[in-house]
Amino acid sequence: MAYRKPSDTEIVEAVKDALRRHGVIHSQKKFGELVLAELRRHDSDYSVSEVRIRRLALANDLVSIDIRARESHEKTSASACPVCGGRTERIKNLTVYGGTVTRGYKCKACGYWTGLKRRIPTLYIFSPKG
């Protein structure tokens, strides 16, 4: 099977259509399927990853996202947001000595946060914005 990759613009349009038709979507798998169904109205060979759909939907401010996550045993490292690819910022606490300690990291773009043990997203709920 020959798969073709849709452009960012085509994906964004498909996301809008899927949200208009279905409203709140309760998993990333479902979200991916619904967006792909919209894309395949135009080209039945289209294929696109769930991560690319999620990041484009967030980057274009089409959805707000509710993230369920579990804590892992791995240490968190400062890095790009695993949900949207945005930059994360330290969550700081003041210490009694007047310094600060890092408690975790938070993404301002999508709201993902993690403590010092890495939180791994397990479920996403997508709600249409605007």
* Close Cβ partners of 44 (under 8 Å, ≥ 6 residues apart): none
Among 110, 118, 119, 126, binds Zn ion (CB under 5 A): 110
Instruction: Output the CA torsion 10→16→21→22 (10° steps).
Output: 110
The answer to whether 45 and 58 are in contact (CB under 8 A) is no
Q: Is 63 in the site for Zn ion (CB under 5 A)?
A: no
Stretch that binds Zn ion, among 11-19, 29-37, 49-57, 85-93 (CB under 5 A): 85-93
Stretch that binds Zn ion, among 12-20, 63-71, 77-85, 91-99 (CB under 5 A): 77-85
Q: Is 124 in the site for Zn ion (CB under 5 A)?
A: no
Stretch that binds Zn ion, among 8-16, 26-34, 66-74, 99-107 (CB under 5 A): 99-107
CA distance 25 to 122: 15
